[in-house]
């Protein structure tokens, strides 16, 4: 079995040498197709601008509503057709990967990790900190995300930062609540007492003993939410509270293309298809990751 | 006369709950010399475990609190230490084996990682030397192939192996005092015997002071030199093992001894009538009075002071006044 486990250095950099960074990538079980799709997605996010055959923001109005290559009138000059402004669909999808990727990545780091950290603190410390944090969570969950985003964009103007802030501000609370529940059961286990008996500090117990026990839940939530984060960003763009035009974004491409679905189905279809593929791939990858990291599911 | 290694004076630990104050440990005093073994016996909920946790200052917060008393380890009062100083005591000077080996190991770490953690915290050993120390400790608890064990995960080991690994973790920094809180309750009889023998060997070799918590008189007889019998948060009788077994003086100890099943008789097993009193609503006077066959009037009025009826045999009962 081909194994390589060179992620150890990552853990050493973070000072947490836990199993998270030691698990073995087993080539046999790795989901190849989803992995490739995600790789392509990230690759486009980094280099899509330079690889796109046409400009993503400027089009030729004479070429508008050109169908994809496999339909009559279609040609390989615009393989996925053009939109209502005569812009090349393929180029727009390639360039549009970047804002989606940036939003997903930063929301996961800010909202996902931040929420998990707060959930662990809340669950482990208990007492006043717990009560205060959980009330804040209640308020945040009760607050409609769209409204928060609209407020932010009205006050500060629509921009990618505001989209990220408003999604993270709402989404952290779900992580905090689920992780807190998980921590409440983990912290009663004897190994936590044993760690305290061995002289571990609270921070060390949270980082080394509790976090690795809840990381599976966090990962599953993260991968499940990649899709909904992209869609949230899309609906914000649709309402005009998201990333402003002319930046190509998958969400607003779908939203704008909706009007033309009867005469040019490819305008909303291709960005939607790309979105669905990426979401599905993240979910499958998340499943694999969870199994690869669980010492009990791993056959040694 | 040398200073006692561990001296607990009038320790009181309470839990403040919505039903009232639960006096889990109510004025426990005992002292131990270096290398001695003390057995703490008593029924469930009599405060054995909380006494041990109090010594480590790990009473469940925020409900539990040590209200009064002194815990002197080599003359130093542990109650006066800060939390940071306490952390240096835990694991390095005092260590504790918990009841359940099945959940005492973190399922997501390999044995090696868990074993070296305590060494990392308390010792300067790193790299090769650290792993060497880990192997030594595993050999000490008689794990057959330490190298393989270091790389395995908790779920791959049997109960007996796991408990030995937990023992190894506790012993890795050479503590002076080891508290074993019913370490054998979840092991089967043959493994129990093996484990106890091992523990005693290690104790003799390392001159460990041992506090052994159990409710099994058989284990007490095998392991301990001195025994303290606890009832409802207090030590009611303390004596050398032989004296206690031959002449149990306190009515509660006497009743407990009678309740040990014997093979040769066909009589019904003796039991102690009634229930231990709820710890948040203790009767005035002697706590055992409601169940005591020798109860007198004064028993219901005041708790009896501790008397020493023989050298090293002390108890609290009005019968001896």
Domain boundaries, chain A: 1-30, 31-293
Q: Quick one: what percent of chain B has pLDDT higher than 70?
A: 99
ipTM for the whole complex? 0.79
Helix, strand, coil share of chain B (percent; to 5): 35, 25, 40
| Interface contact B19, partner A, CB < 8 A | no
B 121-160 → A contacts, CB under 8 A: 121-122, 153, 155-156
Report whether B235 contacts B28 (CB < 8 A). Answer: yes
Contact B24, B279 (CB under 8 A): yes
Mean pLDDT of all residues belonging to chain A = 82
Core vs surface per residue A208-237: b (16+ CB within 10 A) or e: bbbbbbbbbbbbbbbbebbbebbbbbbbbb
Per-residue pLDDT, A7:
44
For residues A196 and B118, give the distance between their C-alpha atoms in angstroms, rounded to a whole number.
Answer: 10
DSSP H stretches of helix in chain A? 8-14, 32-51, 89-107, 114-125, 127-142, 145-156, 160-186, 190-197, 202-204, 211-238, 250-257, 266-293
CA–CA gap between residue B81 and residue A112 (Å, rounded): 38
A197–B170 C-beta distance less than 8 A: yes
Lookup: tokens for A167: 């999604």
Q: How confident is the model at residue B237 (pLDDT cuts 50, 70, 90)?
A: very high
Angstrom distances, CA of residue A198 to CA of A74, B168, B175, B185: 71, 12, 10, 22
Residue B80 has pLDDT above 60, yes or no: yes
Q: Is the pLDDT of residue B186 over 80?
A: no
- Burial class, B321, CB count within 10 angstroms (exposed 0-12 / middle 13-18 / buried 19+): exposed
Rounded-to-10 torsion of CA A214, A219, A225, A230:
140
Q: Which of A125, A130, A118 minimizes the C-alpha distance to A202?
A: A125
The beta strand positions in B157-242, using DSSP E, are 177-181, 209-214, 226-231, 234-240
In the structure encoding, which two tokens stand for residue A245, read together?
């035009």
Distance from CA of A214 to the nearest CA of B (A): 10
Map tokens 């790299």 to a residue.
B127
Q: Which residues in chain B have their CB less than 8 angstroms from residue A197's CB?
A: 56, 58, 90-91, 95-96, 98, 170
Model confidence at B54, pLDDT cuts 50, 70, 90, reads: very high
**In this structure, how many other beta carbons lie within 10 angstroms of the beta carbon of residue B158?**
11
A177-198 confidence digits (pLDDT tens): 999 999 999 988 888 988 888 8
Q: How far apart are CA A21 and CA B191, in angstroms?
A: 36
Chain A residues with beta carbon closer than 8 angstroms to that of B105: 191, 194
* B38 interface with A at CB cutoff 8 Å: no
pLDDT of residue B38: 92
| Lowest-pLDDT choice from A8-22, A45-59, B231-245 | A8-22
Per-residue pLDDT, averaged over B183-191, amounts to: 82
More confident residue, B161 or A6: B161
pLDDT of residue A72: 81
Rounded to the nearest 10°, the torsion over CA A102, A104, A105, A111 is 130
Q: B295 with B289: CB under 8 angstroms?
A: yes
Strand pairing category for B20-32 and B6-17: antiparallel
Q: Using the predicted structure, report yes or no on whether residue A24 has a pLDDT greater than 60.
A: no
What pLDDT does A120 receive?
95
Mean model confidence pLDDT for chain B: 87
Q: For strands B226-231 and B37-41, give the pairing.
A: parallel
pLDDT level of residue B321 (50, 70, 90 thresholds): confident
Q: Are B253 and B229 in contact (CB under 8 A)?
A: yes
Q: Name, in order, each residue with C-beta under 8 angstroms of A36's C-beta and a sequence gap of 6 or more.
A: none
Class of CATH domain B6-93+175-276? alpha beta
Residues in A touching B96 (Cβ below 8 Å): 197
The confidence band for A30, taking pLDDT boundaries of 50, 70 and 90, is: confident
Looking at the DSSP bridge assignments, the partners of residue A22 are: none
State how far residue A294 is from chain B, nearest Cα, in angstroms: 7
The two structure tokens encoding residue B245 = 């077994």
Strand-pairing partners, residue B240, are B226
Tell me how far apart the alpha carbons of residues B82 and A127 are, in angstroms, rounded to a whole number: 21
CA distance between the termini of chain A: 11
Residue A28 has pLDDT above 80, yes or no: no
pLDDT in the model for residue B108: 84
Average pLDDT estimate for B65-71: 90
Question: Residue B15: beta bridge partners?
Answer: B22, B64
Residues of B in contact with A126 (CB under 8 A): 62
* pLDDT score of A297: 64
Q: Which of A167-171, A296-300, B142-146, B287-291 has the lowest mean pLDDT?
A: A296-300
Q: Does pLDDT of A294 surpass 80?
A: no
Put simply, whether B104 touches A (Cβ < 8 Å) is yes
Query: What does the pLDDT average to over A20-32?
Result: 60
Q: How far apart are CA A122 and CA A217, in angstroms?
A: 16
Note the pLDDT of residue A3.
36
Pick the residue from chain B with its C-alpha nearest to A299: B156
Taking the C-alpha atoms of residue A193 and residue A185, their distance in angstroms, rounded to an integer, is: 13
Q: So what's the pLDDT on residue A296?
A: 66
In terms of C-beta density within 10 A (0-12 exposed, 13-18 middle, 19 or more buried), how is residue A55 classed? Answer: middle
Cross-chain residue pair B106–A17, CB shorter than 8 Å? no
CB B213 within 8 A of CB B56: no
The whole-angstrom distance between A174's CA and the closest CA on chain B is: 24
How, if at all, do strands B177-181 and B209-214 pair? parallel
- Select from 3.40.50.300, 1.10.10.10, 1.10.3720.10, 3.40.30.10 the CATH code of A31-293: 1.10.3720.10
Q: What is the pLDDT of residues A151-162, one digit of tens each?
A: 877 888 888 888
Q: What is the pLDDT of residues B122-133, one digit of tens each?
A: 888 888 889 999
For chain B, how far is it from start to end, CA to CA, in angstroms? Answer: 29
- Picking from A194, A181, A172, A197, the residue whose alpha carbon sits closest to that of residue A124 is A181
Place of tokens 């002194």: B70
Q: How many helices (H) and strands (E) does chain B have?
A: 10, 12
B274 is written with which tokens? 């009634």
pLDDT of residue A257: 87
* Closest approach of B57 to chain A, Cα-based (Å): 10
């Amino acid at each position: 079995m081909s194994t390589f486990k060179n992620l150890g250095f990552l853990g050493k950099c973070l000072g947490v040498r836990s199993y998270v960074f030691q698990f073995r990538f087993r080539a046999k079980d790795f989901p190849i197709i989803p992995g490739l799709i995600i790789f392509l997605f990230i690759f486009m996010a980094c280099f899509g601008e330079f690889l796109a055959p046409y400009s993503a923001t400027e089009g030729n109005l004479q070429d508008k509503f050109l169908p994809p290559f496999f339909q009559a009138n279609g040609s390989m000059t615009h393989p996925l057709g053009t939109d209502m402004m005569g812009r090349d669909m393929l180029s727009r999808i390639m360039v549009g990967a970047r804002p989606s990727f940036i939003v997903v990545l930063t929301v996961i780091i800010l909202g996902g990790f931040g929420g998990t950290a707060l959930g662990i603190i809340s669950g482990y410390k208990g007492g006043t900190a717990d009560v205060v944090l959980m009330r804040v969570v209640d308020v945040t969950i009760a607050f409609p995300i769209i409204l928060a985003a609209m407020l932010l964009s009205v006050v500060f103007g629509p921009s990618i930062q505001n989209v990220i802030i408003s999604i993270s501000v709402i989404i952290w609370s779900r992580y905090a609540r689920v992780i807190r529940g998980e921590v409440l059961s983990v912290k009663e286990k004897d190994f936590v007492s044993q760690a305290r008996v061995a002289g571990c500090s609270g921070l060390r117990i949270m980082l080394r003993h509790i976090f690795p026990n809840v990381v599976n839940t966090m990962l599953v939530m993260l991968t499940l939410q990649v899709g909904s984060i992209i869609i949230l960003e899309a609906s914000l763009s649709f309402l005009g509270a998201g990333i402003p035009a002319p930046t190509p974004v998958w969400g607003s491409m779908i939203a704008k293309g909706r009007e033309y679905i009867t005469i040019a189905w490819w305008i909303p279809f291709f960005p939607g298809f790309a979105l669905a593929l990426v979401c599905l791939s993240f979910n499958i990858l998340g499943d694999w990751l969870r199994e690869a990291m669980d010492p009990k599911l791993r056959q040694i | 006369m040398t200073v006692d290694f561990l001296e607990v004076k009038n320790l009181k630990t309470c839990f403040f709950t919505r039903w009232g104050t639960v006096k889990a440990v109510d004025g426990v005093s005992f002292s131990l010399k270096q290398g001695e073994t003390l057995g703490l016996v008593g029924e469930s909920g009599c405060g054995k475990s909380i006494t041990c946790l109090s010594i480590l200052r790990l009473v469940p917060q925020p409900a539990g609190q040590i209200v009064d008393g002194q815990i002197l380890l080599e003359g130093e009062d542990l109650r006066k230490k800060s939390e940071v100083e306490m952390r240096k005591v835990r694991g390095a000077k005092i260590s504790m084996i918990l009841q359940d080996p099945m959940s005492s190991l973190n399922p997501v770490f390999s044995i090696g990682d868990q074993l070296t953690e305590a060494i990392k915290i308390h010792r300067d050993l790193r790299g090769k030397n650290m792993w060497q120390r880990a192997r030594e400790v595993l050999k000490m608890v008689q794990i057959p192939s330490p190298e393989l064990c270091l790389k395995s995960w908790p779920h791959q080991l049997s109960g007996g192996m796991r408990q030995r690994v937990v023992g190894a973790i506790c012993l890795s920094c050479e503590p002076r005092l080891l508290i074993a809180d019913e370490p054998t309750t979840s092991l089967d009889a043959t493994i129990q015997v093996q484990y106890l023998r091992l523990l005693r060997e290690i104790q003799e070799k390392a001159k460990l002071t041992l506090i052994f918590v159990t409710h099994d008189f058989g284990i007490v007889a095998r392991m301990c030199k001195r025994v303290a019998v606890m009832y409802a948060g207090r030590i009611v009788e303390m004596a050398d093992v032989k004296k206690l077994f031959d002449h149990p003086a306190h009515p509660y100890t006497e009743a407990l001894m009678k309740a040990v099943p014997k093979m040769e008789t066909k009589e019904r097993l003796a039991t102690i009538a009634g229930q231990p009193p709820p710890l948040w609503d203790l009767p005035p006077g002697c706590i055992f009075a409601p169940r005591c066959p020798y109860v007198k009037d004064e028993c219901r009025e005041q708790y009896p002071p501790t008397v020493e009826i023989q050298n090293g045999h002390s108890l609290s009962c009005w019968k001896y006044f």
